[in-house]
Structure 1
Amino acid sequence: MYEQRLKPITEAAYLTAENAWRYRSILRFFYVQHEKLKHYLYPEDIYAYLKQDPYFSEYTEDQLQSDLKQLSDWKNIIPRQETGRVATIEDFKKKKFRYQCTPYTIEMERMVERLLELGQSFGGSLEATLFDRLLAALRRFAEEAGNPDGAQINQAWEDVYSYFRRIVENASDYIAYLKSEKVEERMMNEAFLAYKDAFAEYIRRFILGLQHASYNIETLLKQITPGQFTLAAEKIADYQLSIPRLEEKADRPQLIERCQDQWTSLNEWFFGTSGHDSELLSLERETTETIRRITRFAQRLGERQHAVRSRYRDYLYLAAWFDRLEDIRTAHELSAVLFGTAGIRHIYAEPAESEDMYSLIWDNPPTTVTVKPSVSTYREKLKPGAVVSRTAEKAAARAEYIKEKAQEQALIDRLIDGNRIVIAALGEQAPFIRKTLLNWIGKCMASSTRTTKTETGRQIRLIRLSDRQITLTCPDGKLTLPDLAIEFLA
């Protein structure tokens, strides 16, 4: 097995040879016919197919015979002499052949087909359901581990590792796709604003599914001891060795070692290694950072649109306002309100703790800035500090947050009348009700079906009841908007 890995793969030579366009066309025809379960081809059939292409207008049968011989030397095709169709001795002497494609060539053509479909960008996806499938497959494997039937254990383990490999490959490819230069260029386009909520919701849904299933998967992995898996790996190896094969088989220790390596990689992906975080935590950080990047791009686009907006009418209105003033003191006061105080000192403060782009400045706690003496002899005193446990404060803050969210959800639930929230029928509401409704309306407008999901996972749809304008009253102002209603589908 080790010596085979050191030998050159002559079957791949046709992809980069001098006449690769001819060899690839011939083997592509072999691959297409193989997929149609037609395994043997005659030279006349190959020649008739190639002559349909304008590139082969001057192609001759002698060139075809030379190309077929070269492909046979490279072991891409296998010639078999046809003896049952000859009518004369001369025909037998001509050695008519039919050709069959080798397994290596079929797999390489499949790889080329996938590469052409992939193009220059990464594929992949973030499917939260794969974690649920992996969890179900692990449970089945844990149940079958003590089964004497090696076929059942082998099938259960193949399901486990197949789902695990799909999770790793799809997630890494999709994260690389989002980080690619082409996608970042599109994010800087104003058309991206229509898709930002869909992107963020898709990634957020994946994070929730990952967090929900990963704890159960980690618990199940801890329950399966190394000894139990070793016994299962031995049964898997015995079953695979029992399958009749004409070629050389791998020995039993190699099969057991391969299963144990796969089990180790599965555990390291979820638990990490000594001194290194797990890939699961890295994936969670990457997806969270991706949501932040999308939000930042959307905020920059909004600021750019606001910056290039014409202020011609605004300045005319302000000029007329100043013209109506009677004394210079009132004009100075109005200027301070509109343009700020001249000659102010700007003090840098830490960024706000909240990452919500819709949060108001007075909702965030103030930042304390310590001004140090501006003398060269000043030195800050250093005192050894102790590590203070704030578990109780964290638990109290979390309980307060959950209680607050529950109260807000209860207020929203009281607005639902017959699975609908008719905005025109609402009286005066709290500001957070207005923000929640506007958030739902924005998500629905970004969807082609005018549907989305709330933070609690309920499916909603936006309905326009009439063409008139309505007013939503709140303590901090009034909002005019179309006559809309939000219908709860689930």
Structure 2
Amino acid sequence: MIYEQRLKPITEAAYLTAENAWRYRSILRFFYVQHEKLRHYLYPEDIYAHLKQDPYFADYTEEQLQADLKQLSDWKNIIPRQETGRVTTIEDFKRKKFRYQCTPYTIEIERMVEKLHELGQSFGGSLEATLFDRLLAALRRFAEEAGKLEGAELNQAWEDVYSYFRKIVENASDYIAYLKSEKVEERMMNEAFLAYKDAFAEYIRRFILGLQHASYNIETVLKQISPEQFTLAAEKIADYQLSIPRLDEKADRRQLIERSREQWTSLNDWFFGTPGHDSELLSLERETTETIRRITRFAQRLGERQHTVRSRYRDYLYLAAWFDRLEDIRAAHELSAVLFGTSGIRHIYAEPAESEDMYGVIWDNPPTTVTVKPSVSTYREKTKPGAVVSRTAEKETARAEYLKEKAQEQALIDGLIDGNRIVIATLGEQVPFIRKTLLNWIGKCMASPTHTAKTDTGRQIRLVKLSDRQITLACPDGKLTLPDFAFEFLI
């Protein structure tokens, strides 16, 4: 049934593009404004008095108003209700005095039109890091109370979670689209943008820090809620929504449960991604970081442009006065050579001097012979074939030294393994190679969802956090502070 409704035309929106749209829109706009003031029923004389205040409706008649109201009633934008309480004669009753009420569809359409006018031709949105904190708080409440809450409280808890998530997605995507719009890029190329550069960059930087701080906690909470637990909560939410008395046709319980599960899936996919695709969270972080780089590049180009077109007016006046004070043309030539360089200079190449005597003159050095090559494209220098020199012995020596070095490094690593584990806290002072290897392993494991990785020798390892304390790994060139990690060898 719901699918069939999506295929039908929406006649309530016809007034926006009809032939007399300016008249229909003015009438329904008046209905919407009065509806917001809790005045739900309007009489034709009130509508007509309001329209006549507009110069565009100077020639508008009551007959035209009746025809427009009839058309809007046919489009289901307004609902006519016959007024019987104010009838004084049979003729008034026959003329069927009506009062009109705006339909819910029309109210929502007018709200949408009002929002479109406020939006203008540019994207809105914002990057509010506090929304992540609100989402985290709502998600924690939902996770902690999912098995305890019933009915309205559970439904409200889930609506809080999804509404904050939807605001994050919509606001962030709209704001990124706004920053990438052609109009904003044109303004970024304007010198006036330099005054807002720091504010833009700081605003986005705060958002990135808030995103990174809250996203890890949000992902932790999401992992604590199993699909089975959410399905039970979705069933309770569906039962509550079905318990709300409605005069129209009730929704199907299975569809309500499926809608909640789809919302839960989209929430998880946004934070964790799908197989073969990164999460939208990572994409948002990359987009915001790239935006900061783009703002910096624009500011740098503007700075370079200002530097290149900087006025040299005062400099030239000073130089002109300097030349004007000279009385000898030779002195003027010397000053010109110092300021602007020698005109018509020739660059001559010569071999480095053989003598290190700083007081020697050029005439004491032997002449340099320069071979001038023909400046034609067909000229090629003569070459002599050279012998192929065998480097087998040097290669074998280098290979043996490399393998010996790798064997020594592997022996150092094997000496750290105790019971198929390496506990970093129990290690004494180690050489920098061990520190570099352990940090490399930690990076590989942290990049894996299962915290596992392979070493250079093909062994499977898992990173384990033993406690929340901080430990220190000492090396001859310094000390490294890190969490209490350990490695387990699986293969």
Smaller-chain TM-score range? 0.5 to 0.7
Q: Tell which deviates more after alignment, 163-172 or 84-93.
A: 84-93
State the match for 1:194 in structure 2: 195
State the match for 2:155 in structure 1: 154
State the match for 2:145 in structure 1: 144
**Alignment pair present for 1:392 and 2:393:** no
**Alignment pair present for 1:247 and 2:248:** yes
State the match for 1:6 in structure 2: 7
State the match for 2:87 in structure 1: 86
**Alignment pair present for 1:265 and 2:266:** yes
State the match for 1:284 in structure 2: 285
Q: Tell which deviates more after alignment, 153-162 or 301-310.
A: 301-310
State the match for 1:171 in structure 2: 172
Alignment CA distance shift 1:331-1:33 (3 Å) = closer
State the match for 2:223 in structure 1: 222
CA-to-partner distance for each residue in 1:70-126, whole Å, 9 max, x for gaps? 000000000000111111111111110000000000000000000000000000000
> Which blocks of at least 5 consecutive residues in structure 1 are unaligned?
345-374, 378-382, 400-490
Task: Provide the C-alpha distance between the structure 2 equivalents of 1:293 and 1:12, rounded to a whole number of angstroms.
Answer: 41
State the match for 2:403 in structure 1: none
Task: Provide the C-alpha distance between the structure 2 equivalents of 1:144 and 1:343, rounded to a whole number of angstroms.
Answer: 86
State the match for 1:368 in structure 2: none
Amino acid at match of 2:16: L
Task: Provide the C-alpha distance between the structure 2 equivalents of 1:240 and 1:221, rounded to a whole number of angstroms.
Answer: 24
Alignment CA distance shift 1:255-1:312 (3 Å) = same
Alignment CA distance shift 1:332-1:51 (3 Å) = closer
Task: Provide the C-alpha distance between the structure 2 equivalents of 1:313 and 1:50, rounded to a whole number of angstroms.
Answer: 65
3-state SS of the aligned residue for 1:310?
coil
CA-to-partner distance for each residue in 1:459-489, whole Å, 9 max, x for gaps? xxxxxxxxxxxxxxxxxxxxxxxxxxxxxxx
State the match for 1:408 in structure 2: none
3-state SS of the aligned residue for 2:246?
coil
CA contact (8 A) 1:144 1:152 kept: no
Task: Provide the C-alpha distance between the structure 2 equivalents of 1:254 and 1:393, rounded to a whole number of angstroms.
Answer: 49
Matches within 5 A, 1:400-439: none
Amino acid at match of 2:80: P
CA-to-partner distance for each residue in 1:422-455, whole Å, 9 max, x for gaps? xxxxxxxxxxxxxxxxxxxxxxxxxxxxxxxxxx
State the match for 1:359 in structure 2: none
State the match for 1:210 in structure 2: 211
Task: Provide the C-alpha distance between the structure 2 equivalents of 1:169 and 1:36, rounded to a whole number of angstroms.
Answer: 29
Deviation at 1:263, TM superposition (A): 0.2
Deviation at 1:150, TM superposition (A): 1.9
Deviation at 1:290, TM superposition (A): 0.5
Alignment CA distance shift 1:253-1:8 (3 Å) = same
State the match for 1:65 in structure 2: 66
Amino acid at match of 1:77: I
Task: Provide the C-alpha distance between the structure 1 equivalents of 2:239 and 2:200, rounded to a whole number of angstroms.
Answer: 47
Deviation at 1:310, TM superposition (A): 2.4
Deviation at 1:392, TM superposition (A): 2.9
Task: Provide the C-alpha distance between the structure 2 equivalents of 1:81 and 1:343, rounded to a whole number of angstroms.
Answer: 106
Task: Provide the C-alpha distance between the structure 1 equivalents of 2:147 and 2:177, rounded to a whole number of angstroms.
Answer: 40
State the match for 2:414 in structure 1: none
Amino acid at match of 1:141: F
Deviation at 1:130, TM superposition (A): 0.1
State the match for 1:355 in structure 2: none
Task: Provide the C-alpha distance between the structure 2 equivalents of 1:142 and 1:66, rounded to a whole number of angstroms.
Answer: 57
Alignment CA distance shift 1:29-1:143 (3 Å) = same
Deviation at 1:52, TM superposition (A): 0.3
State the match for 2:31 in structure 1: 30
**Alignment pair present for 1:101 and 2:148:** no
Deviation at 1:329, TM superposition (A): 12
State the match for 1:184 in structure 2: 185
Alignment CA distance shift 1:72-1:149 (3 Å) = same
Matches within 5 A, 1:330-479: 392=439
3-state SS of the aligned residue for 2:101?
strand
Amino acid at match of 1:57: A
Amino acid at match of 2:439: A
**What number of residue pairs does the alignment pair up?**
352
CA contact (8 A) 1:51 1:57 kept: yes
Q: Tell which deviates more after alignment, 44-53 or 306-315.
A: 306-315
Alignment CA distance shift 1:33-1:330 (3 Å) = closer
Alignment CA distance shift 1:342-1:103 (3 Å) = farther
Alignment CA distance shift 1:390-1:305 (3 Å) = farther
Amino acid at match of 1:392: L
CA-to-partner distance for each residue in 1:185-232, whole Å, 9 max, x for gaps? 111111111110000000000000000000000000001000000000
Task: Provide the C-alpha distance between the structure 2 equivalents of 1:213 and 1:234, rounded to a whole number of angstroms.
Answer: 29
TM-score normalised over the length of structure 1: 0.67
- RMSD value, Cα: 3.2
Alignment CA distance shift 1:391-1:52 (3 Å) = farther
State the match for 1:19 in structure 2: 20
Task: Provide the C-alpha distance between the structure 1 equivalents of 2:439 and 2:76, rounded to a whole number of angstroms.
Answer: 71
Task: Provide the C-alpha distance between the structure 1 equivalents of 2:336 and 2:22, rounded to a whole number of angstroms.
Answer: 79
Alignment CA distance shift 1:395-1:228 (3 Å) = closer
Task: Provide the C-alpha distance between the structure 1 equivalents of 2:308 and 2:167, rounded to a whole number of angstroms.
Answer: 45
State the match for 1:274 in structure 2: 275
The percent identity for this pair of structures is 83
CA contact (8 A) 1:47 1:61 kept: yes
Task: Provide the C-alpha distance between the structure 2 equivalents of 1:148 and 1:161, rounded to a whole number of angstroms.
Answer: 17
3-state SS of the aligned residue for 2:276?
coil
Deviation at 1:2, TM superposition (A): 1.1
Deviation at 1:311, TM superposition (A): 2.9
Q: Which entry has the higher C-alpha Rg, 1 or 2?
A: 2
CA contact (8 A) 1:126 1:171 kept: yes
Alignment CA distance shift 1:343-1:127 (3 Å) = farther
Task: Provide the C-alpha distance between the structure 1 equivalents of 2:61 and 2:228, rounded to a whole number of angstroms.
Answer: 65
3-state SS of the aligned residue for 2:100?
strand
> Which blocks of at least 5 consecutive residues in structure 2 are unaligned?
350-382, 386-398, 400-405, 407-432, 444-469, 471-491
CA contact (8 A) 1:130 1:167 kept: yes
Alignment CA distance shift 1:312-1:391 (3 Å) = farther
Alignment CA distance shift 1:91-1:272 (3 Å) = same
Task: Provide the C-alpha distance between the structure 2 equivalents of 1:25 and 1:310, rounded to a whole number of angstroms.
Answer: 56
TM-score normalised over the length of structure 2: 0.67
Alignment CA distance shift 1:100-1:330 (3 Å) = closer
